[in-house]
Amino acid sequence: MKHLLSIEALTAGEITDIVELGAKLRKNRNATPQILNGQCWALIFNKSSTRTRVSFEVGIRELGGSVMFLSGADTQLGRGEPVKDTARVLGRMVHGAVIRTYAQADVEDFAKYSSLPTINALTDEEHPCQILADLQVMYERLGGWAGKRVCFLGDGDCNVARSWMWAAERLGFELVIGAPKQFQPPQSFMENFKSGMVKLEDDPVKAVSGVDVVYTDVWVSMGKEEESAHRLKILQPYQINSALMKHAAKDAIVMHCLPAYREKEITDEVLEQHADVIFHEAENRLHVQKAVICWMLRK
């Protein structure tokens, strides 16, 4: 049985297969295969969401299935029931699960004990669905990732940055993490990346110099609100603005996984200039997640 628990766990071939299928499904949405007929999938979300919830609910329905949404307050998980017990129950009732939560171990335990195809819709460690959607943008807008250079600006040790790092390692494109030293991944994590394709840079101008993709995420993620003032002050030089974009490649694209806090990690001007790509990226969550489910269920 296949799961999508992390980018780390995927091979280059699997990533490419999912992205290419997502692009096909985007081109011909009306031809979505009805592979979930008669199935009910559970969405178990302990973190709030717009794009993730909507894209999975619509995608599962377009694949022919039905959806049951469960927030943390809706289940006994919110009252301390172990994940493995909830998993054993749902494994006898539903056909698949999409989980958005805090601990990576919770998603992995759910997959282990439920015996259901399980998708990580975000944890503190990784955000694989987002990065697959981003790679689909590169495939559709830039012709792929071979020979391309990507810069992630901001909190370089967040879940999105970590998933980007695994993608670069697996697929062999250059990724620069542009972040102040206190927001860079620890050396213990960097030891995973032997190819030399993942680089750290604390100078934002050097980080974006000549890159094809400039990428950012919110500076204050869920659970980090108490650090807001500190984060905004330290990360201000890493804002994507028109002055910084002059150092990127001439035809560089800007991506943001959203929600965007304009005039913080990105200016309103730059976001609107690149809105076509950014909202293409958001739409790709629907198509690539349908592709993920097709890939997981493929015999």
Contacts of 258 (CB under 8 A, 6+ apart): 50, 51, 278, 281, 282
Q: Which of 134, 155, 212, 217 is catalytic?
A: 217
Q: Which of 100, 162, 256, 280 is catalytic?
A: 100
Q: Which of 231, 256, 285, 287 is catalytic?
A: 285
User: Does residue 39 have an active-site annotation?
Assistant: no
Is 51 labelled as part of a ligand binding site? yes
A 10 A CB-CB count for 18 gives 24
What separation in angstroms does the CA of 269 have from each of 50, 53, 189, 247? 23, 28, 35, 17
Q: Which of 3, 95, 127, 274 is catalytic?
A: 127
Contacts 24+ apart (CB under 8 A), 278-283: 278/254, 280/137, 280/140, 280/141, 281/133, 281/134, 281/137, 281/255, 281/256, 281/257, 282/51, 282/133, 282/258, 283/26
User: Does residue 127 have an active-site annotation?
Assistant: yes
User: Does residue 257 have an active-site annotation?
Assistant: yes
Is 163 labelled as part of a ligand binding site? no
**Packed helices 12-27 and 275-297: angle between N→C axes, nearest 10 degrees:** 110
Q: Which residues pair with 215 in a beta bridge?
A: 152, 255
Q: Which of 3, 26, 53, 130 is catalytic?
A: 130
Residue type, 33: P
Is 49 labelled as part of a ligand binding site? yes
User: Does residue 40 have an active-site annotation?
Assistant: no
Is 86 labelled as part of a ligand binding site? no
Is 236 labelled as part of a ligand binding site? no
Is 40 labelled as part of a ligand binding site? no
Is 68 labelled as part of a ligand binding site? no
Sign (positive or negative) of CA dihedral 225, 231, 232, 236:
negative
Is 76 labelled as part of a ligand binding site? yes
Is 155 labelled as part of a ligand binding site? no
User: Does residue 217 have an active-site annotation?
Assistant: yes
Is 46 labelled as part of a ligand binding site? no
Q: Which of 95, 257, 280, 287 is catalytic?
A: 257
Is 127 labelled as part of a ligand binding site? yes
Annotated binding site for carbamoyl phosphate: 49-52, 76, 100, 127-130, 257-258, 285
Annotated binding site: 49-52, 76, 100, 127-130, 159, 217, 221-222, 257-258, 285
Instruction: Give catalytic residue positions.
Output: 100, 127, 130, 217, 257, 285
Annotated binding site for L-ornithine: 159, 217, 221-222
